[in-house]
Structure 1
Amino acid sequence: MKKWGLLVFVVLVSTLAATTVAKKLPKPYELCGRLCGRVYCDTCRFGFETNVTTYIPGATVELQCDDKSGSRLVFRNTTTTDEHGRFTFQVCEDHGDQYCDVVLVKSPWPHCNKIDRVRGRSRVIVTDFNGMRSYRRHANNMGFFQEYALPVCGDLYQYYFHSDDI
Structure 2
Amino acid sequence: MAKNYGVAAIVAALCLVGVVHCVECLTVEGPVYCDTCRVDFPTPLSYDLKGAKVKVECRNKTTNEVTVSIEGATDGFGWYRIPVEGDHEEELCEVSLLDSGDETCSELLEGAVHNARVALTNRNGISHQTARFASSLGYATKEPHANCTKVLLEMGVLPPDFFNN
Query: TM-score surpassing 0.5?
Result: yes
**1:112 maps to what in 2?**
105
> Are 1:65 and 1:98, in contact at CA under 8 Å, matched by a contact in 2?
yes
User: Structure 1: any 5+ residue segments left out of the alignment?
Assistant: 1-25
- Looking at structure 1, the residues matched to 57 and 63 of structure 2 have their Cα atoms a distance apart, in angstroms, of 11
**1:17 maps to what in 2?**
none
- Looking at structure 1, the residues matched to 145 and 151 of structure 2 have their Cα atoms a distance apart, in angstroms, of 10
What's the offset of the Cα at 1:30?
2.9
Higher Cα Rg: structure 1 or 2? 1
| Secondary structure of the structure 1 residue equivalent to 2:64 | coil
What's the offset of the Cα at 1:124?
0.3
What CA deviation, in whole Å up to 9, does each residue of 1:22-81 have, x standing for no partner? xxxx9xx93322111010000000110011110100000000111113632221000010
- Looking at structure 2, the residues matched to 78 and 37 of structure 1 have their Cα atoms a distance apart, in angstroms, of 13
Q: Considering only aligned residues, what root-mean-square deviation do their CA atoms show, in Å?
A: 1.9
**2:140 maps to what in 1?**
145
> Are 1:70 and 1:99, in contact at CA under 8 Å, matched by a contact in 2?
no
- Looking at structure 1, the residues matched to 86 and 112 of structure 2 have their Cα atoms a distance apart, in angstroms, of 28
- Looking at structure 1, the residues matched to 133 and 63 of structure 2 have their Cα atoms a distance apart, in angstroms, of 22
What CA deviation, in whole Å up to 9, does each residue of 1:81-110 have, x standing for no partner? 001100001112111100000000111111
TM-score (norm 1): 0.76
Aligned 1:31-70 pairs, distance under 5 A: 31-69=24-62
> Are 2:24 and 2:87, in contact at CA under 8 Å, matched by a contact in 1?
no
> Are 2:59 and 2:65, in contact at CA under 8 Å, matched by a contact in 1?
yes
TM-score (norm 2): 0.77
How many aligned residue pairs are there? 137
**1:83 maps to what in 2?**
76
- Looking at structure 1, the residues matched to 101 and 140 of structure 2 have their Cα atoms a distance apart, in angstroms, of 13
Instruction: After the TM superposition, list the runs of 4 or more consecutive aligned residues in structure 1 that deviate by more than 3 angstroms.
Output: none
Distance 1:70 1:154, change over 3 A: farther
- Looking at structure 2, the residues matched to 118 and 66 of structure 1 have their Cα atoms a distance apart, in angstroms, of 22
> Are 1:37 and 1:140, in contact at CA under 8 Å, matched by a contact in 2?
yes
Residue 74 (1) aligns with residue 67 (2): yes
Q: Which moved more, 1:95-104 or 1:111-120?
A: 111-120
Residue 162 (1) aligns with residue 162 (2): no
